[in-house]
Structure 1
């Protein structure tokens, strides 16, 4: 499904959202937080936290860099925004969209969330080996809890008794007793790279991006693994949803542009009930307050899609900032018109070029890739997400059609045959061209030769 920026609806699908509810995305390249009204499924605007590259590379730069993670307080009045590149957590007032304060933590934090009682904000410092515990009122770190190397996220069981911390570098999920701040269990992950998890009173679902799996663990001692599901390449985020039809889990699978819906019955293996086609590279996901929808961020589509959980069909598509990562749905985030204050239009974020790549003729591979080229002003940011490659093999993204092929970025496929790589340059105009004759093309070639593995099969400017 190619995203053209239009918003479309299924009749009656959006009825349960309430005035004051908000959907937020963390936009990694534009360094913004996009704000969506789920009643109208309309982008209200962006909270700008930083500048784009190359301004963000200045030694005098003091804005946020690589806006990536999101969490919110139990009263739904504070949004915590994690920026990987600036090692910071920005606290935003959801009523006014204003910055209340900023806390600096260790190297490359990834995600953060408040305890259910609201007393503390816990930050997974993925570039190191601990969770940073923040006093949100004093806006300072008060303790560190050592974990396995590379903690990817932290979420709490709803009663607040335990915190669950998977790792992005080590095959271990740690369980922390929130009263003693001690790790009381170390659960073996099926593979090392977990970026995300979802928790309810009974289960923990953690995604395994490297192996394309989702692991289901009991949320109660002894925290045994119940199931390991084969979900697919670039398994990104997961959301647990409960509504009148039962209990469900929704998993974003970036390598196949799909969301998988599972029915969850006590004591039974999760049942796959729907495979939902989305736009390019679905990433963040969160359920609405009533469980009638899930919202999905499209990392290479620069958009959010709403899925009606009654029909498991895409019901709306909303443009957002550049390369959205984490996404949260916050009910009753604002109670007045001030909830639309201080929001900026998306600007050049509306001008992304989206490219589809498929296996070259004559190859036996089932590989494919999506490419997003976002304008940063004078230069562009390019991201390729590929799946179906040979694990451990090296590849090159090459610009062809000119006097000489030009290597753009090299990368190596991981254990699941997937890879995500980025580069910068004046690329959008070169790939789009003024006409078919002038446009250059993208190819993925083998790293040590000229074998063409993937070829560009289409390109669209997503002017929104």
Structure 2
């Protein structure tokens, strides 16, 4: 055994030194050596409706299992419920040994050991936290408490709150300058980004957001730029990462613009942006902001993160329950991996598993001789993989352009009931609509509203409902079956259907 382990370690050392000609992937420094894709790496996805974290080996793009942090509905309605709810945000420590997972519904940050998949600690913070990230020196964890007005600063050793940084209401996400000098915090409720000094937690600058709702922000490894997305208006904004933090560019990207991340490869430095309403990834150069690629993917792309060498990016498909792997030199999809329900944040953690394999077909073995630790504390996908998918399209003839931006609907199985999520696009901006049942496939007849919503400035919305909906729209007898439609109006007064459930 000892001879095998020494040989395996030597092989790993050789592979790590054979790095490509570029270096420094987000969120690290440009000078940081690249880490080639290997069985030591892990891709994680935070899954909102199954309350799980999927764990993937990117060397063969294989799902190893899920870390179950909570139960599905309706078990989590109980006043005695102790699990996590609405697993959503994700960050990792600079040493790649700890994953921080935010659960919005239970106001928590769960810290997971990447080598064992075991929960090390859970810290409870304020109302509706969104994201958690370690500072570059690994000493603090900043948690944006979006339901309130501050960043909760946790001690990265004790996981307890040490201070709060007061901000305007609704801080959405934070990221740090690679040199550890600044923290950049965008807002989900107010049109401003606050720049904070890590040395003393003081606000040292502000940037005006083109609209209030920013869900995601990224800093370039060369320390020159900060990119952030605006989900409500379908834009991406870029500003100078250094004082006076001048806005450099605002680009129209499309409805439900979700996340952005930075990739460095042999062709240069690029921003990859997930456009949920168009089911595509848009790729921009960071030097002149030109769009160089549009990559079609599955439904409602959300979180995105590069590999340790920038050769790939991994994208969570929120309404397809998959992770998509993209080759960044060819800008094409190379794999789709089934995972849990409604992935939100995605994290690629190089060297998360400090073990070694003799070959790709043999189980992982760590240096203490423990066999196959890669599946420790993981469960099978099970119910978390049960989802029904369909689309809704404009009533009447469906044109190719309308089909591209059609509303996607997922019914996430929770047992006898389902969580419905519709990524609605193609409607009038800032108008009131209802999601409803119709007795006929063409949307005619008496409509029964099940959810009301208002579209954002780009004519899009994310709509949720809960109930035995799949049985009604798919499995019912012909005389009792109903069809999902979208119509203008409210639950009191409903107009004629404008989108209908596609066959």
User: Normalising by the residue count of structure 2, what TM-score does the alignment of the two structures yield?
Assistant: 0.85
Structure 1: 4+ residue segments shifted above 3 A: 362-367, 402-405, 434-440
Q: Match for 1:300 among 319, 341, 349?
A: 319
> Aligned pair 1:156/2:176, yes or no?
yes
Secondary structure of 1:65's counterpart equals: coil
Q: Match for 1:359 among 394, 409, 418?
A: 394
- In structure 1, the residue matched to 2:470 is 428
- The CA deviation at 1:33 is 0.4
Q: Residue by residue, what CA displacement relative to the aligned partner does 1:76-122 show, whole Å, maximum 9, x if unpaired?
A: 00000000011000000000000000111111000010011100101
> Aligned pair 1:341/2:376, yes or no?
yes
Distance 1:449 1:120 in 2: 51
- In structure 1, the residue matched to 2:140 is 120
Q: Match for 2:241 among 196, 204, 219?
A: 219
> Aligned pair 1:271/2:290, yes or no?
yes
Structure 2 portions without partners, runs of 5+:
1-34, 356-371
Q: Match for 1:411 among 453, 463, 466?
A: 453
Q: What is the RMSD computed on CA atoms of the aligned residues?
A: 1.8
Which has the larger Rg? 2
Structure 1 portions without partners, runs of 5+:
1-14, 459-464
> Aligned pair 1:86/2:124, yes or no?
no
- In structure 1, the residue matched to 2:299 is 280
Secondary structure of 2:273's counterpart equals: strand
Q: Residue by residue, what CA displacement relative to the aligned partner does 1:189-237 show, whole Å, maximum 9, x if unpaired?
A: 1110001011121110000000100000111111100000111100000
5 Å-filtered alignment, 1:41-120, equals 41-120=61-140
- The CA deviation at 1:430 is 2.2
- In structure 2, the residue matched to 1:322 is 341
- Residue 58 and residue 309 in structure 1: after superposition, are their counterparts in 2 closer, same or farther (change >3 A)? same
- The CA deviation at 1:439 is 5.0
Q: Match for 1:385 among 423, 427, 443?
A: 423
Distance 1:208 1:171 in 2: 10
Secondary structure of 1:372's counterpart equals: strand
Distance 2:336 2:480 in 1: 32
> Aligned pair 1:395/2:417, yes or no?
no
- Once structures 1 and 2 are overlaid, which stretch shifts more, 200-209 or 331-340? 331-340
Distance 1:83 1:168 in 2: 17
Q: Match for 2:494 among 430, 443, 449?
A: 449
Secondary structure of 1:414's counterpart equals: coil
- In structure 1, the residue matched to 2:270 is 248
- Residue 69 and residue 351 in structure 1: after superposition, are their counterparts in 2 closer, same or farther (change >3 A)? same
- In structure 2, the residue matched to 1:8 is none
- The CA deviation at 1:410 is 1.1
- The CA deviation at 1:363 is 9.9
Does the 8 A contact of 2:434 with 2:494 survive in 1? Answer: no
- Once structures 1 and 2 are overlaid, which stretch shifts more, 431-440 or 333-342? 431-440
Does the 8 A contact of 2:128 with 2:146 survive in 1? Answer: yes
- In structure 2, the residue matched to 1:206 is 228
Distance 2:468 2:477 in 1: 17
Does the 8 A contact of 1:374 with 1:428 survive in 2? Answer: no
Q: Residue by residue, what CA displacement relative to the aligned partner does 1:349-404 show, whole Å, maximum 9, x if unpaired?
A: 22211111111117999563110001101211101111121112111111223796
Does the 8 A contact of 2:262 with 2:271 survive in 1? Answer: yes
Secondary structure of 2:171's counterpart equals: coil
Secondary structure of 1:348's counterpart equals: helix
Distance 1:214 1:433 in 2: 41
> Aligned pair 1:369/2:407, yes or no?
yes
Does the 8 A contact of 1:446 with 1:452 survive in 2? Answer: yes
- The CA deviation at 1:437 is 8.3
- Residue 22 and residue 256 in structure 1: after superposition, are their counterparts in 2 closer, same or farther (change >3 A)? same
Q: Residue by residue, what CA displacement relative to the aligned partner does 1:36-83 show, whole Å, maximum 9, x if unpaired?
A: 110111111100000111110100001101000000000000000000
Does the 8 A contact of 2:265 with 2:329 survive in 1? Answer: no
Q: Match for 2:158 among 138, 146, 160?
A: 138
- In structure 2, the residue matched to 1:18 is 38
Distance 1:408 1:381 in 2: 12
Distance 2:337 2:326 in 1: 12
Secondary structure of 2:254's counterpart equals: coil
Distance 1:362 1:287 in 2: 40
- In structure 2, the residue matched to 1:180 is 200
Distance 1:431 1:222 in 2: 55
User: Normalising by the residue count of structure 1, what TM-score does the alignment of the two structures yield?
Assistant: 0.92
Aligned length: 441
- In structure 2, the residue matched to 1:12 is none
- Residue 142 and residue 305 in structure 1: after superposition, are their counterparts in 2 closer, same or farther (change >3 A)? same
Distance 2:269 2:477 in 1: 50
Secondary structure of 2:374's counterpart equals: helix
